[in-house]
Amino acid sequence: MASQDPQYDVIVVGAGFGGCYILNELRKEGFKTLLLEEAPDLGGVWYWNMYNGARTDTRVPLYEFSDEAIWSDWNWTEKYPAVEEIQRYFKHVDSKLHLKKDIKFNSRVEKLHYDEQKGVWNVSSKSDTFETRFVVLATGFAAKPLIPDIKGLETFKTQAHTSKWPREGFNFQGKRVGVIGTGASGIQVIQEIAGDVKDLVVFQRSPTYALPMRQEKIDAAKKQQSKEVYAHRNTTFPGLEDEFNPQSALEVSDEERERFYEDLWAKGGAGFWLFTYRDTITSTVASEYAYRFWRNKVVQRIENPAAVEILAPEKAPYYFGTKRATLEQSYYEVYNRDNVSLVDINSNAIAEVTPEGVRVANGTFYPLDVLVLATGFDAVTGGILAIDIKGKDGLSLTQKWEGGVQTHLGFATSGFPNLIFHYGPQAPTSFCNGPTCAELQGGWIVSALKHVRDQKRTSLEATRQAETDWAKQVQFIGDQTLLPQTKSEYMGTNIPGKKKEMLNYLGGLPLYTQQINASLTEGLSGRKSKCDKKHPQCGTCARLSQQCVFPIDRLKPGPKEGPTRSQALPSTDRDWISEQAESLDELFGAESSGNHLPTNNNTQPFRHLHDFEITPSQYLAPPPGQLESAGDYWDTTTTYMGSPSSWSSQMFFPLAFHESSNCRAAGLNALVHPVHENLRTLKIGRTETANLRTPNFDRLFHQISIEMKISSATLLHLIDLYLSHVMVLSLFHKPSFKDKLNSIQQPLHLKALLASVCSYAARIEQQRWPPDHRASRWHEYYGASGPGDEDPPDPQKLHTLAIRLFADAMRDYEEETPPLCLLQACIINTSYSMTHGVYGKACRSLGLCIQLAYESNLHVIDFELYPDGLGQKPPDLSQWSQDEEARRAWWAIWEMDSYSSSIRRCPGSLRTSEVQTLLPVSDEMWFQNRHQNSVFLSSDIFNLINAMQETGNESPLGWLIIAITLMRDAQSQSNYKGALWLVNKDKYFAFIKGNSEKALDATQTTQTPIDVMNLTKKLQGLKTALPESLQLNGPLTFTSAQPTSMRHTRQQHSAIYNIAMMIEMARYMAHHF
């Protein structure tokens, strides 16, 4: 090291798996190393975890070091070893590696203060202070126990937290024992002592989804160690023996899914959590499937019905897999014992602890002799922040992380040079097997420190940009899962006042390994690696063992036609890219960088997590902003490290490629200016799918109701409500609506459509009842025979879901025209937004509707069949009926455009002269598949009215469109001053004065009176020509049904009201100057 070396090169804190591994490897490399350990012996948490029943929930040989010198002559006796055997294992490790000679036990580190002048850390325990260049904190993720804040807890003498168990233990024989908490340690204690105690009272905070352990004895003949076992565990998501199933739980049949679950269940262990379907922690439906199976298995073992509802409620208390799924052997049978009581402290909280026992909120008192606290940990960050750590300028780590944890790769944080975290925050920590992560991260740390020494550097520190980007990536991946929706130690929400954030990296071990290895090989060198363009794999990717893909042809510049991919990128993610690259080519130029962006015909680069097709070595994708390579990730100043310019984008976009696909990579400039060869020929939008029934439609229908968080009965109710009550958005052929749903082959399309329909209907339902009595009136009105939810559905939540599902579905349409069902979903979503207010967001949504309608040629649906402008009887009645649905979509958009332009007093986007689509016919004729002649919309209103009368078309929608046309004319005439008047009246008058003061007078005196007179005649002609069924001749009830009609009275009266209002609005506008 430097000429004035500190006392030590490296001090390691913690003697668990990680600390022991790092100590041994650093000594091999010649580093002067000291390990400080609070306990008097090796083992880390396994020194302290001496509670009854304590054992690992990872099977051996996975839960041990991969060093053959250690495992070759060590024999485990159980598949899941108990704490006593694990402690013997650490003694065996020491006998091989002789670690204790460089360990100072009974040394709890209290302070870590950085001396900037010397460039060293001062490490202080109660009795000693040491000086070192580097500090490695291997304190583990469960170093700080969570002691609950319960009144009087300190008064109860015979108590212990499972993580700080007295070495002498407790004699539970014949005692009255209380256990608070039913996590991993709680379950192990409970099932171990239930048969010994006099009385056992379990205070449960939330149920744990415990899985069967399937414990086995192991003799020497069953020894399974081999080098392949350890190599394989490094390639799986959790660092274990197996992997997530790459299939989705939603893609398989009920029978196949049940067989798969049964197989996992029979094998036991954590497989039902970590080897299950890949979308179990990303899809609410997949999570519900897993919970249902788990619950069915568990309730068979519990005899007490009251205990069943507490231990395995009918409704899942949280999503499966979003909390640790611990292992059990006889846990659920415990509650069949007469001496065991179960208290749900969510509904009956602990009021106080006295020296004699525990009193709960309802007044019940439980006398106790021993109280066990199995209340978990301030996980991941708690053990680190328990130490007084101060870096540059005296900044404490607690202060720096107050607004959220920030590290680079989970190893380092800016402002704290040479401080390295192991098995800490923003690493795979809680989702990775301990020994696997110990060796993986430990190997990186040793290599990094070697590099610093070999380069004659003195400091290693992450840059602020690096840690900011990594924190975004960790949070982005976490946000694509269900974990943020659950209160747990994974999010820090089990600790009162702790910031809610993703504390663990959820990208999986292989992806994490790629990123840290790339940082090591490229990021510490400060070199930028160019792509050498060698085929089929460039030198950079070969060196990093990455998949290499590259552009086959140079892409042409120019704007892209059709829907843009940018909707998939949050604005903040786009900012990451623009802020950190001087140009697109510098960022990801196809010729200038070794960063290859994989794309192909079946997957797109910017997709959310739940759209990914996940394979065993490719898991969750980080945010698009993580692609940048222009910013330094390790500080490259005099004493620091360099920039990983050649980080492969394959690390950041682990997309699963279909073997048959033609993979292409290109610079980011190609995403902005894509190739537009093979542009599609626009075709008139007919139907979106083949006439095939979706497999397992009823099952999918149930899944959709779960995702909407409503019952299937409520879903059906909302669909019926929409079809029977909505007039203006009468988009669907009601008699065949179920067949339409069956024909939609893409589940995401079906979800998007139904969510939009239900959100619109839910608002109708909401308006039926007074705001203060909606829930009670809902239940009172429908009762047991109605929808199955206690509370009416929330329309805004359903609308938000509908918007998200629509956006997700649209990402699959780069060049192709999306199907009609998605356009219908967009129309309903837009109408929902517009009826809240014609604001920018709603208008932009309308613009998308218009674009999609033109792409589908909905404005010229009838041009080929009816070139003469009059809709005679078509040769194919079924095609006519099918086209009517597309016509309804076009005219719904036309109505919204007219409504929007009138409210905002600006020109409409659609022109009558462009439209070659017949006006809609009546629902009665359409629903009965009886052809009805119709006409094209014309600016000659009198001829149009005459044509409508001649065809006998009494469609409320058709006549309403004519009324809206006149209203648009009136709006245009009443706004004769133009757009300039609306923007700035002063400029308007200056403009008029500067050109000709006569212009304004001419407009006022000649144009307006004539137009008013003509418009008044048109309005009177329309009012007179209206069919009798659409005349306003009496009071409107909007309620009762007409038994002889296929239309609901509400719809009919709404049509009458709308037409009358349009006529009166037009009359008002015409006379408003």
What is the pLDDT averaged over residues 673-689? 31
Q: Is 367 among the domain residues?
A: yes
Q: Span 797-807, mean pLDDT?
A: 91
Confidence at residue 881, expressed as pLDDT on a 0 to 100 scale: 84
**pLDDT above 90: percentage of residues in the chain:** 44
802: left (phi over 0), alpha (psi -120 to 50) or beta: alpha
User: pLDDT grade, residue 968 (50/70/90)?
Assistant: confident
The yes-or-no verdict on residue 1014 having pLDDT over 90 is: no
Q: Which of 913, 915, 886, 909 is nearest to 896 (CA)?
A: 909
What pLDDT was estimated at residue 945? 84
DSSP track, 338-393: TTEEEEETTTS-EEEEETTEEEETTS-EEE-SEEEE---B-TTTHHHHTSEEE-GG
What's residue 849's pLDDT? 92
- Give me the pLDDT at residue 989, please: 53
Question: Which of 105-114, 301-310, 642-651, 955-964 has the weakest average pLDDT?
Answer: 642-651
Indicate if 140 and 169 belong to the same structural domain: no
Report the C-alpha gap between 403 and 399 in whole angstroms.
Answer: 8
Nearest in space to 580 (alpha carbons), one of 622, 626, 621, 623: 626
Q: What is the mean pLDDT of residues 319-334?
A: 95
Looking at the structure, do residues 476 and 536 belong to the same domain, yes or no? no
On average, the pLDDT of the chain sits at 77
pLDDT band (50, 70, 90) for residue 653: very low
Residue 893 in any domain: the answer is: no
pLDDT above 80 for 220: no
Stretch 639-665: mean pLDDT: 26
In this structure, which amino acid lies at residue 1016? T
Over range 794-808, report the average pLDDT. Answer: 91
Q: Are strands 120-124 and 129-137 parallel, antiparallel or unpaired?
A: antiparallel
Q: Is residue 597 pLDDT above 50, yes or no? A: no
Q: Among 135, 94, 690, which residue's Cα sits nearest to residue 411?
A: 135
763 — pLDDT class (breaks 50, 70, 90): confident
pLDDT computed for residue 228 by the predictor: 83
The predicted model gives 1036-1051 an average pLDDT of: 50
Tell whether 868 is covered by a domain: no
192 contact partners, CB below 8 Å, separation of at least 6: 52, 53
The Cα–Cα gap between 847 and 1056 comes to: 28
The answer to whether residue 860 sits within a structural domain is: no
State the Cα–Cα distance between residues 155 and 157, nearest whole angstrom. 6
- pLDDT, one tens digit per residue, over 187-211 is 999 999 999 999 999 999 999 999 9
- Judge whether 921 and 955 are in contact, CB under 8 Å: yes
pLDDT at 362 over 60: yes
Backbone angles phi, psi at 245, to 5 degrees: -70, 125
| pLDDT tens digits for range 292-315 | 999 999 999 999 999 999 999 999
More confident residue, 706 or 440: 440
Rounded Cα distance, 936 and 953, in Å: 12
pLDDT above 90: residue 98? yes
CA distance 854 to 843: 17
Q: pLDDT higher for 569 or 727?
A: 727
Specify the range with the lowest mean pLDDT, choosing from 496-510, 531-545, 719-733, 800-814.
531-545
Tell me what the mean pLDDT of segment 9-26 comes to.
Answer: 97
Count of the separate structural domains present in the chain: 5
| Tokens coding 687 | 């139907």
In-domain check, residue 910: no
Domain boundary (485, 513, 538) is at: 485
The pLDDT score that the predictor gives to residue 944 is 82
- Identify the residue with better confidence: 98 or 995: 98
pLDDT tens by residue, 404-431: 999 999 999 999 999 999 999 999 999 9
For residue 561, the model assigns a pLDDT of 35
Q: Which residues pair with 579 in a beta bridge?
A: none
- Residue 828 pLDDT exceeds 60: yes
275 shares its domain with 424: no
Domain final residue pick, 805, 822, 855 = 855
pLDDT confidence of residue 1041: 43
Neighbours of 2 (CB within 10 A): 12
What's the whole-number mean pLDDT along residues 585-597? Answer: 26
Least confident of 132-141, 358-367, 439-448, 687-696: 687-696
- Give the Cα separation of 119 and 418 in Å (integer): 9
Whether 876 is in a domain gets the answer: no
> Which of 352, 373, 394 lies at the terminal end of a domain, its last residue?
373
Q: How far apart are CA 685 and CA 235, in angstroms?
A: 47
CA distance 378 to 490: 10
What are the CA-CA distances from residue 746 to residues 172, 827, 836, 947 (Å)? 59, 19, 30, 41
What is d(CA 979, CA 48) in angstroms, rounded to the nearest whole number?
77
Residues 350 and 398 in one domain: no
Residue 628 in contact with residue 581, Cβ under 8 Å?
yes
Say if residue 318's pLDDT is above 90: yes
pLDDT exceeds cutoff 90 at 26: yes
Same domain membership, residue 163 and residue 137 = no
Higher pLDDT, 1036 or 536: 1036
pLDDT band at 637 (very low <50, low <70, confident <90, very high): very low
pLDDT class of 583 with cuts at 50, 70, 90: very low
Structure confidence at residue 676 as a pLDDT band (50, 70, 90): very low
User: What average pLDDT does this structure show over 994-1013?
Assistant: 49
Secondary structure string (H, E, C) spanning 672-711? HCCCCCCCCCCCCCCCCCCCCCCCCHHHHHHHHHHHHCCC
My answer on whether 404 and 328 are in the same domain is no
Closest CA to 618 of 637, 601, 603: 603
pLDDT for 779 equals 61
CATH number, domain of 111, equals: 3.50.50.60
- Does one domain contain both 593 and 694? no
Beta-sheet pairing, 365-367 with 357-360:
antiparallel
Q: Specify the pLDDT at position 1046.
A: 40
Does 213 reside within a domain?
Answer: yes
Write out the DSSP string of 561-578.
PSS-GGGGS-HHHHHHHH
Residues 750 and 810 in one domain: yes
pLDDT, average across residues 950-978 = 75
Quick check: bond before 536 cis, omega within 30? yes
**Which residue range is the domain that position 157 belongs to?**
153-373
Tokens coding 19: 């600390």
Residue 549's pLDDT band (boundaries 50, 70, 90)?
very low
Cα 992–996–1000 angle (5° rounding)? 60
Residues 303 and 212 in one domain: yes
Phi, psi (degrees; rounded to nearest 5) at 649: -65, -15
Q: What value does the mean pLDDT take over residues 672-689?
A: 30
Q: What is the pTM of this model?
A: 0.58
More confident residue, 949 or 547: 949
Q: Is the dihedral of CA 657, 469, 132, 123 positive or negative?
A: negative
If asked whether residues 945 and 994 sit together in one domain, one would say yes
Contact present, 316 and 289 (Cβ < 8 Å): no
Question: Does residue 990 sit in the same domain as residue 927?
Answer: yes
Question: Considering only CA atoms, which of 572, 582, 560, 583 is closest in space to residue 624?
Answer: 572
Q: Band the pLDDT of 624: cuts 50, 70, 90.
A: very low
Q: For residues 165 and 171, give the distance between their C-alpha atoms in angstroms, rounded to a whole number.
A: 13
Pick 1006 or 271 by higher pLDDT.
271
CB 107 within 8 A of CB 127: yes
pLDDT category, 1036, cuts 50, 70, 90? low
Strand order in the sheet with 365-367: 350-354, 357-360, 365-367
Q: How confident is the model at residue 559 (pLDDT cuts 50, 70, 90)?
A: very low
pLDDT digits (tens, 9 = 90+) for 32-76: 999 999 999 999 999 999 999 999 999 999 999 999 999 999 999
Closest CA to 68 of 226, 221, 220: 226
pLDDT bucket at 131, cuts 50 / 70 / 90 = very high
Does the bond joining 793 to the residue before it have cis omega, within 30 degrees of 0?
no
Q: Which H or E run contains 190?
A: helix 184-193
What's the token pair of residue 933? 């002649």
Residue for token pair 């099977």? 59
DSSP, collapsed to helix, strand or coil, labels residue 16 as coil
**Does any domain span residue 501?**
no
Same domain, 459 and 414: yes
Asked if 526 contacts 640 with a C-beta cutoff of 8 angstroms, the reply is no
Query: Lowest mean pLDDT: which of 624-633, 843-852, 864-873, 971-980?
Result: 624-633
Within 811-876, residue ranges assigned H as helices are 820-834, 840-855
Residue pointed to by tokens 């292992």:
327
Single-letter amino acid, residue 160: A
pLDDT tens track for 686-721: 333 333 334 456 667 777 877 888 877 788 888 888
